[in-house]
Structure 1
């Protein structure tokens, strides 16, 4: 790769008895030998986490994983709609593919330096040194996993690069997955079960990631015979042998100031500082919002958020995935249904009398059609499904961020990369494919029952819980994909899920009319960045069709 990488220039600092990975002391003067010290090793490991903050909750990462699927299409704004409609603009010169490629390879090179040099660092306890190397292997595995899913065969480098490299080649995905799996096995062996510094990788995070990797590899040309069995064992171990637990109220998983809850296994960390967040502040709160701020009685504010109108739910997501709203509360909890008046100047008046006052309902999205006679009686704006547009639609609430400094400030919330609900879904899918459907159903039903509506009596609650249960006859990959959509909507899984299950083209054609005309099998991979091809002296082939 002709990418000049000087690792120590991107190190962000080392930990100084902190409780949070981002609370570290900065170092501006670094030398090549610094990494060979205990402080330098700490700095290098912290730097290796940086690509997470350039991907999760960031527009480049969310654009390439959220829309262009069966459950999300584009809203009215944004310059990268071609990732949804698969037009000719989705080519090798698009900047998001380039940035994802560059950011993760820089992170990989940081990890390579740690793994190569770490064993020679002597002024640190052996256990600490092994843990830091384990973190580097966890992160290198993660970075390669994103790249191989996104681009297919990629350049595989396990040695530190300190200068310009013009020779590179594409390794078969079998070799890439072999490195990923081995790195995660080593990480599991060396990482602690818990860590006093929140945000660092743990044994459970490595087991969860390995389960996800094996589930993905199982449907690829790199598949090995026991991938499903191993994925099931790992997922069950995370569920049963650590202190994680599903929260009784699903929305509390995403409640602000509750990010460090019992369901979160691992998260990309953010802090209210551009120095630490780099070029990837968590702006997930902005991307799913409808244009509420120009509606009668409304203006933009911190609690409601900044509406960038990037991602709009498809009819399939709203009408089929969330069809059951009697027993299942996830649509109710995950989407915003009411906006309360905050702009007295724009409240509608009739004969000079305001139709409502500050704090009253200004906008209601009931989620169903209503008779005109009912709508006409409401003093506020009612947006039923027939009135949805590219600007007005149900807004996902998972990433709401009211603690930004002002309306223009970047987000400060952590982004959940791994949570226990996904672990249940991994276990269920792996068990189904390994010939244990009865056990798979138990994991599905446990997860679904958590989101059962609480009734006015215990008997009513029990009826809702029973209605959430499925049988073995209902269990198949299409049901699991719908359940993953119901539970993990917006969490940057969907494009990968459809690709690994070989359902992307089929489901996009069925459920995303904005993308149906253009999508082809070539779109199950993104184009290799043209800069990578142009700057390599040896042949570096482009993905087919680009």
Structure 2
């Protein structure tokens, strides 16, 4: 089910004119101007409450801006060799300033809906025709969302303004005053505590895209953990203890809160489980091209195209161009690549989170029943002597073929145009082209079990974690690239080093490359699956993190164990953790939550950004300033629209006389 962004018109015409204020809003799904309704109307009030969700799907969790803010500038991500300077301001702090697009937009998007949340909360008692139940639940939803946006602001921008603006009043604050970090967290904790008491276990109207009790509790644990990094306490009790208490309550009462943890991590990332994933505590629902709700949201998610490389750069062996790749999608942005640390933190000998996170084996596809790309044999690539010489494939493979890995179907959806989705995977060694022989029960066509066999002729390119000599590479039928060879020190090489374009390849984050019927957008650069803003595994990580910070190693091990056990390969056992340090916790977060909009905030709360950059991202370390970069820059648009920008400050980025705090 989807949230329908109603276009109800309200009577307060002055509100949106306030791009001058913290309530400025660039979103267009809800237009509170003109018309003859007022906020006292239930339809108008509830429509405004629904609008409070809009930046989640339309901006924050569907385009690159927030991802670059939340993951960039950390120990986990670089720009790849083929695109070394894209978003360098956020990936490397190189030129980061108040008008940097990502930080500028996220600041405005958060504030845009806080004023709407305030209006919903402030006017609840004045709404006509409302039931007590509707008032309680929808007000609690608005408090949860207000807390979420305020947590985003204080986490990334520090002590900014705890906005009291109410969009229904048509007021603009042109001389805002900063609040303290402690005031922010007090407000956030109060909102989430109250909301968690009023929200039901099941979401309002059965719509899983709405927040519910487990959402408020999960965010409460996250807020306590983030505030703990600021040294905060509550009534003499540290926020770390509070984080532990809330996380343990969620874990110990999971069934009562409808909280679930998959026993197998591969099921978590299975394509069939993307919609309404039971491990999610907070979901941003994607568009379903086979459902009428596709028309209700202006959401076109293109995150995958930034995280996946383009194997067509080696076009003579991987012969499907990015703009006709119905399997991988249009992979033409290529901007976010993992660091050596990110790759090496996994031990793929036992941990299958490695291939459930990164694609390192690139296969071709067929469309046998659809007939779009010719018959099965037309989709194979003949290995010539020239290819063996160029890609150092053994001469014994000359005259043999690289065959398709996956077969794709196509259909025309009722609402979203052509859809492309897998019918199955071709079995290794089966070259019949008979779709009756396809392996149908594949959880995720982007997850290729590690390691790839030397004779697996379904792959054209394999990026190898294990270093292989030229002699070992020649044993494989595919082009083998040592991942270590892609790096010059801790950064990706930016030019050919082996006579091929392999320098433009990298292990590719696949958490946002969805492939099932209904998820593809109007063109192949969009894949509109559900996004998990928070999931149960984070609660276990917070519990372990809090235990470690409180000196309870046994407790930390207890909460890490379920995550590690479910990641173990069949026949393997996750190594037992004994000496659990702060770095142990950071490493486990990296394995579990790579790319999930979390790394920067985690390193901030441990005050580890500078230290970790020196170890794993030297380019970012050159520009990182400990006295400035623990807060992102204030929005230039906002500063230019207030009357006291010199007093307010820009967090130290040089466009105002001082930081402002």
Shift of 1:438: 1.8
Once residues 454 and 118 of structure 1 are traced to their aligned partners in structure 2, the CA distance between those partners, rounded to angstroms, is 54
Superposition pairs of residues 178-327 of structure 1, within 5 angstroms? 178-195=186-203, 196-220=206-230, 222-224=232-234, 225-241=237-253, 242-259=257-274, 260-272=276-288, 276-278=296-298, 281-295=300-314, 296-299=317-320, 300=322, 301-307=325-331, 308-319=333-344, 321-322=345-346, 324-327=347-350
Shift of 1:164: 3.8
Once residues 397 and 498 of structure 1 are traced to their aligned partners in structure 2, the CA distance between those partners, rounded to angstroms, is 23
The aligned counterpart of 2:384 is 349
The aligned counterpart of 2:651 is 543
Shift of 1:345: 8.2
Distance 1:165 1:31, change over 3 A: farther
Q: Secondary structure at the match of 1:92?
A: coil
Q: Secondary structure at the match of 1:257?
A: helix
Q: Check conservation: 1:431, 1:440, Cα contact below 8 A.
A: yes
Shift of 1:526: 0.9
The aligned counterpart of 1:23 is none
Q: Tell whether 2:602 aligns with 1:497.
A: yes
475, 479, 484: which one aligns with 2:580 = 475
The aligned counterpart of 1:86 is 93
337-346 or 226-235, which deviates more: 337-346
Once residues 146 and 87 of structure 2 are traced to their aligned partners in structure 1, the CA distance between those partners, rounded to angstroms, is 28
Q: Check conservation: 1:67, 1:74, Cα contact below 8 A.
A: no
1:206-247 deviation per Cα after TM superposition (whole angstroms, max 9, x unaligned)? 011011101111121544433122211211222222232221
Q: Which runs of 5+ in 2 are unaligned?
A: 1-17, 366-377, 387-397, 406-457, 487-491, 493-502, 655-661
Once residues 32 and 100 of structure 2 are traced to their aligned partners in structure 1, the CA distance between those partners, rounded to angstroms, is 32
Once residues 47 and 228 of structure 1 are traced to their aligned partners in structure 2, the CA distance between those partners, rounded to angstroms, is 33
Q: Greater share of helix residues, 1 or 2?
A: 1
Cα-Cα RMSD: 2.6
The aligned counterpart of 2:510 is 397
Shift of 1:312: 0.9
Q: Secondary structure at the match of 1:198?
A: coil
Q: Secondary structure at the match of 2:301?
A: coil
Shift of 1:69: 0.7
Q: Check conservation: 2:329, 2:524, Cα contact below 8 A.
A: no
41, 49, 52: which one aligns with 1:48 = 52
The aligned counterpart of 1:134 is 140
Once residues 8 and 380 of structure 1 are traced to their aligned partners in structure 2, the CA distance between those partners, rounded to angstroms, is 51
Q: Check conservation: 1:247, 1:263, Cα contact below 8 A.
A: yes
The aligned counterpart of 1:165 is 173
406-415 or 119-128, which deviates more: 406-415
Distance 1:32 1:370, change over 3 A: farther
Of structures 1 and 2, the larger Rg is shown by 2
Q: Secondary structure at the match of 1:524?
A: coil
Q: Which runs of 5+ in 1 are unaligned?
A: 14-26, 456-460
The aligned counterpart of 1:525 is 631
Distance 1:341 1:11, change over 3 A: closer
The aligned counterpart of 1:18 is none
351, 362, 371: which one aligns with 1:339 = 362
Distance 1:183 1:11, change over 3 A: farther
Shift of 1:11: 7.7
The aligned counterpart of 1:458 is none
Shift of 1:544: 2.2
The aligned counterpart of 1:16 is none
Q: Check conservation: 1:2, 1:166, Cα contact below 8 A.
A: no
Shift of 1:51: 1.8
Q: Secondary structure at the match of 2:283?
A: strand
Q: Check conservation: 2:22, 2:108, Cα contact below 8 A.
A: no
Q: Secondary structure at the match of 2:461?
A: strand
Q: Check conservation: 1:2, 1:536, Cα contact below 8 A.
A: no
TM-score of the pair, normalised by structure 2: 0.74
